[in-house]
Structure 1
Amino acid sequence: MKPHVKEILIGLIIGLLANVAGTYLYIFFFSDLDIEDTIKAALANDFLGSLIALGAILNLIVFFIYLKKNQVYRARGVVMATVIAALVILYTKFL
């Protein structure tokens, strides 16, 4: 595997994990329900995409950290993770 492909893959995985962590943190701090009930309510009330979008805010922080460290390939992976999150949001809006 080429070194830059490996770096992009690392950035993609970190970006996806940051999105999941951001969603979890948002639910933990701002929801009265536990995680499972919040996700069920989000599916029932059609705001799952909003939860995912709020979780993607952490990707912004990770992206700028990678740019600051001059790790542009990892930053590209984080952008790819954000695009994947956007596609998931688009899918949930039209489901």
Structure 2
Amino acid sequence: MNKKDIFIGMLVGFIANSMGLFLTATLLGQGDDFTQVIKAAAEEGFLGKLISLGAILNLIAFFIFIKKRQDYKARGVLLITVFIAVFTFVFKLYS
């Protein structure tokens, strides 16, 4: 049961981060297409910042799971958030 809940939390965290990235790119993209915003962010060197801003929705998912006392799902969201942070750090380091 615990592994299943952690996996569900990871899935929710990944989806929340993806939605957050899409919302961030849409809001900050000044009306440009999502793919154009991502390409421009990669060329200009702030793609890692967009990904980090997208992770803000993980905070909401995390606190919802904590409030419902679904600690293992919250743990999954936290794991994805840490993974995103490490990925962003490595991406910024090598780009």
**Could you tell me the TM-score, scaled by structure 1's length?**
0.94
What is the one-letter code of the residue matched to 1:20?
S
Question: Counterparts of 2:14 and 2:86 in 1: how far apart (Å)?
Answer: 13
Deviations 1:39-74 (A, max 9, x none): 111111110110011000000000000000000000
What is the one-letter code of the residue matched to 1:27?
A
Shift of 1:87: 1.4
The unaligned stretches of length 5 or more in structure 2 are none
Q: Tell me which of 4, 14, 17 is aligned to 1:16.
A: 14
Question: Counterparts of 1:48 and 1:30 in 2: how far apart (Å)?
Answer: 12
Name the stretch that deviates more: 72-81 or 38-47: 38-47
Question: Counterparts of 2:82 and 2:71 in 1: how far apart (Å)?
Answer: 16
> Residue 5 of structure 1 aligns with which residue?
3
Shift of 1:88: 1.3
Name the stretch that deviates more: 56-65 or 38-47: 38-47
> Residue 33 of structure 2 aligns with which residue?
34
What is the one-letter code of the residue matched to 1:69?
K
> Residue 72 of structure 2 aligns with which residue?
73
What is the one-letter code of the residue matched to 2:71?
V
Name the stretch that deviates more: 23-32 or 46-55: 23-32
The unaligned stretches of length 5 or more in structure 1 are none
Identity over aligned residues, as a percent? 45
**Total equivalences in the alignment:** 93
